[in-house]
Structure 1
């Protein structure tokens, strides 16, 4: 089951990261933003918008599969690891600055996920209430 969680959350993080970076790239290539048909055509003329759609659909189905088995607390926290992966890939691919507050935020996110995972591992098994 551990391998399932590891693979599942890595897949979820990959799909979420693909979606976020694709939206950024599609939006950047469709500037200037305007509420008109020309802007929509520019957006949907970018291949990145379809990467975003694939990313969101993949993330949705991966998340639904993980929720069948994973405890909700740590699963919800781990589902936000894409914040860290998007930040790191944005530094590399989009040349965005890596600042101290961003690094500290990423460390806090990872530390929170580790704490939730440890708490879940050490928690006693829940007994289902069938009486009621």
Structure 2
């Protein structure tokens, strides 16, 4: 089952990241902002908006499937790993600055995932001992 989680969370992170980066790219190409038909045609004629839609749909389907099987605490924490991935891609693709706040946030997200995964592992070991007794 751990391979299922690993593959599932990697796919979730990839789809979430695709959605966020595509949405950012679509917003860049959607400028200047105007609420008219010409603007809508410009937005929907650019492929990045479809990358965002595919990313959101893929992430939703994978997330729903993972929730059927994964413990909610670690699953919820791991679902935020895409924020770290998007941060690094934004630095590379959009020349966004890497600030201490972003680094601290990434560290806290990674620590939260690790702590929740470790806690869940401990709970499973405790349950296995109870069953054997």
TM-score over 0.5 for the alignment?
Answer: yes
Do residues 21 (structure 1) and 27 (structure 2) align?
no
Q: Distance in 2 between matches of 1:104 and 1:112?
A: 12
**Which of 115, 124, 127 is 1:125 aligned to?**
127
- Structure 1: 4+ residue segments shifted above 4 A: none
1:73 alignment counterpart: 73
- Which deviates more, 108-117 or 9-18? 108-117
1:58 maps to 2:55: no
Structure 1's unaligned 5+ residue stretches are 127-132
- Shift of residue 125, structure 1, vs aligned partner: 3.2
Normalising by structure 2, what TM-score?
Answer: 0.90
Return the TM-score normalized by structure 1. 0.91
Higher helix share goes to which structure?
A: 2
1:12-63 deviation digits (Å, cap 9, x = unpaired): 0000000000000001011011222221111111100000011011101111
Describe the SS at the equivalent of 2:88. Answer: helix
Using the TM superposition, give the Cα deviation of residue 88 of structure 1 relative to its aligned residue in structure 2, in angstroms: 0.5
| Distance in 1 (alpha carbons) for counterparts of 2:111 and 2:9 | 16
